Amino acid sequence: MDGEDTGRGRTIQDDAAARLRPSSPVVGLSRRTLAFPQVLAQSVAAVAPSAVMVTLPLLAHPTAGGATPLVFVAAAALMVAVASCVNVFATRMVAPGGLYSYTVKGLGPLAGLAAGLSLVVGYAGAAAASVLGATEFGLAFLGDLGLDPAAGVVRPLAALVVAAAAGAVMVRGVRLSAGAVLVVEALAISTVVAVLAVAGWTDLRIDAGLGGSVADGHWGLVLLLAMVAFVGFESATTLSSESQRPFALVPRAVRWTPIVAGVLFSAAAVLVTRDGIVAAGDTGLAWELSGGGGAGPRVAEALLHLGVFGSWFACACGSTTALTRTLFTMAREGVLPEALGRTHHRWRTPARTLVLATALVGGAVAVATVLGAAPDVVFVWLLTLSAQGYVVAYVFCVVAAPAFLRRIDELPRGGWVVPSLTALVMAGVVLWGTALDPGRFSRPAVVYVALLGAGLGLSLLRLRRRGVRLSSLGLYDETTTGDLLTRRRTTWRGGRHG
Amino acid sequence: MAENTSIGGRQPKAIQNALAVLEAVALSGSGVTAKQIAARLSMPPATVYRILNLLVAEEYLVRLPELSGFALGRRVDVFVDAALTPTIVQSARDLLEELRMSVRVGIHLCSCRSGVVRILDADPDFPPPLTEPELNERLARTALGDLMAGGREQRTTHRVADVATDSESVAVGIYNRDGDLHAALWMLGSPGGIAVVRERLTTIARRADDLDPLLH
């Protein structure tokens, strides 16, 4: 019996080894270079916790009152469940395409394309919102320093500068950009936490932008916003090819980011629920600090603006990195033009894709501000569009997880329970929130659906014209001959084979 | 606390299970699925899935491209190499003998794979002053370690008093056709002897290149 088993195993081994590729299909990227802090920073930066901390608890407070921290704890729990579904894939495949490639493996190429394009909208929207956020807070910081740029003229230029700076950092290698994101994000979080803590203990008052825009009693909307606060935590998956020991580090980053963000958001919510610290301003994005005496409030305000500027800048880098890795995968598969799948020979990044993406994102923001749209309106609009992209992609991935496990015959008994409940709760929250506040969500939703439909139609048309079969989608950084223990590599055994 | 340092509770079982799964993949051959391993070991499938994912994360195992089959990963190389007793063919021995006659230092043939040095053929007249474990422990501070850490351009390295006072080492790399370092000549002796070696380094490096085809 044993002998028969082994005999069959040997044949499989030879077949298996023969079917392996000699090099990875994502060759050109800087493989296996990032350590855990850099991988974690990618996910954390894409969430932009310090920027979210001082925005969303404020929006939730009029409705949720004293329960605001609990709302964020509940949203964190939901995202931990989503993370467990993402990790079903992240522990089994290394894919720069992230959730796109995962969904292809779980639900097939059509659903995968829908999820992937949805994610592209999510990342692009988040990148644009971040560029705008960084622009606004950067200008506010300049204002704190006594420079008062004429915002009307300077704003579009500033948006282009922010986008160009982010692009320049990202093109020059993933180590540099991941390292920069790590440092900036760590500084941003510590600054914002310190300023909020000081505000909590002293009699500083914060007048926050974007406040007061969610009316009392809109529970569905509050839950939706709390959920949206966490999006981006999955983006470490797009760096899996570039991470050391990806099957260990990437799932760890995906698991911890919602927990870390949940703690930060709940703490911020506790602060917000204390009376008299925060008042909601009506327009603009930036905050004003008052109260106390002397130069204290002005210094605190400048620090806060600088911290949130850093957070948005890191988020722009994180979202664009994730966006370009997804586009890079699609280009390698033939869904997008082949030029977008090329990497720079020295920097080992998809440089052309990065330049194009940052130019489009920066340009779009600059054009919107030149046309005279109010920054806070554009900002909320972009975030809503992005949130729709993310959440739809999450639902796809959550549903794909048990389907994938079933396909590879590793679905444990009852393994579909958590994914089904998670998908149901997410869909419920989205419908409830959208139905309660159709004005805020319907117009971006129309744009979102139009973008998704156009993207899907164009890519299917392109695939057909090029004769690319749908089954060739789902490309990932698969095991190559070099990863395997093979007899060929063991030179000291007299070169015997088989 | 004692519990933190000792293996307690269900950990021994977990370690046994992990080793059993690793062994099952080795016995079954590449392409074996999680279900097959669970059946072979009569273990609960959920436990096997968890262990397989851990072993893949640590790179002892790899998933094959269809994602359901497993194979032994590159990290197992270390065990395989450790278990090997290499046979050095006569022509390689002759070549080493000739080199040893030409200079009065110890010349040892070592394999350098997976970051580990194994002494394959020690000089009988000048035995190495260190055992293999001692050598590997201080590898980063030796000429051999420099050679393994260096790039492909650096084909020889030299260190003074790296393994013993009053002695110097020279390491000459042996590269395969793809340019990968897989073995080295480790020469160890008095400063005077090593000075002679360094004068004749070009010739010795050429002989090291001649050794490469004899070692496969």
pLDDT band at A491 (very low <50, low <70, confident <90, very high): very low
Mean pLDDT of chain B: 89
How high is the ipTM of this complex?
Answer: 0.84
Of B137, B121, B216, B139, residue with least CA distance to B178: B216
Contacts of A471 (CB under 8 A, 6+ apart): A109
Asked whether residue A299 carries a pLDDT value surpassing 90, the answer given is no
Rounded distance, CA A61 to CA B174, Å? 69
Cα three-residue angle A434-A440-A441, rounded to 5 degrees: 45
- CB interface of B with A, residues 25-44, below 8 Å: 27-35, 40
Q: Are A447 and A384 in contact (CB under 8 A)?
A: no
Distance (Å) from the alpha carbon of B65 to chain A's nearest alpha carbon: 6
Mean of the pLDDT values across residues A276-298? 64
Length of chain A as a residue count? 498
Q: Helix (H, G, I), strand (E, B), or coil: what is residue B9?
A: coil
What are B156-182's pLDDT values in tens digits?
999 999 888 889 999 999 998 888 888
Complete DSSP assignment for A125-190: HHHHHHHHHHHHHHHHHHHHTT----HHHHHHHHHHHHHHHHHHHHHT-HHHHHHHHHHHHHHHHH
Distance (Å) from the alpha carbon of A175 to chain B's nearest alpha carbon: 20
**Count of CB contacts below 8 A, A vs B?**
121
Do B111 and A482 lie within an 8 Å CB cutoff? no
Amino acid A182 reads L
What are A342-352's pLDDT values in tens digits?
999 999 999 99
Asked whether residue A214 carries a pLDDT value surpassing 90, the answer given is no
Q: Are B76 and A487 in contact (CB under 8 A)?
A: no
Asked if B81 reaches chain A (Cβ–Cβ under 8 Å), the answer is yes
Candidates B59, B68, B87; nearest CB to A408: B68
Complete DSSP assignment for B114-149: TTEEEEEE--SSS--SS-HHHHHHTGGGSHHHHHHH
Picking from A21, A31, A243, A479 by the largest number of B CB atoms within 10 A of its own CB, the best residue to mutate is A479
Asked if B46 reaches chain A (Cβ–Cβ under 8 Å), the answer is yes
Asked whether residue A70 carries a pLDDT value surpassing 60, the answer given is yes
Rounded distance, CA A183 to CA A127, Å? 19
Rounded distance, CA A239 to CA A319, Å? 12
Contacts of B19 (CB under 8 A, 6+ apart): none
Asked if B149 reaches chain A (Cβ–Cβ under 8 Å), the answer is no
* Global pTM exceeds 0.95: no
Mean of the pLDDT values across residues A404-429? 94
Q: Are A417 and A153 in contact (CB under 8 A)?
A: no
What are B130-153's pLDDT values in tens digits?
999 999 999 999 999 999 988 777
**Dihedral of alpha carbons A80, A86, A89, A93, sign:** negative
Distance (Å) from the alpha carbon of B190 to chain A's nearest alpha carbon: 31
Of A368, A264, A223, residue with least CA distance to A47: A264
In eight-state DSSP terms, residue A65 is G
The per-residue pLDDT for B77 is 81
Residues of chain B contacting residue A21, judged by C-beta atoms under 8 Å apart:
65
Rounded distance, CA A19 to CA A234, Å? 31
The per-residue pLDDT for B154 is 81
Candidates A16, A92, A491; nearest CB to B30: A16
Q: Are B111 and B117 in contact (CB under 8 A)?
A: yes
Q: Are B106 and B189 in contact (CB under 8 A)?
A: yes
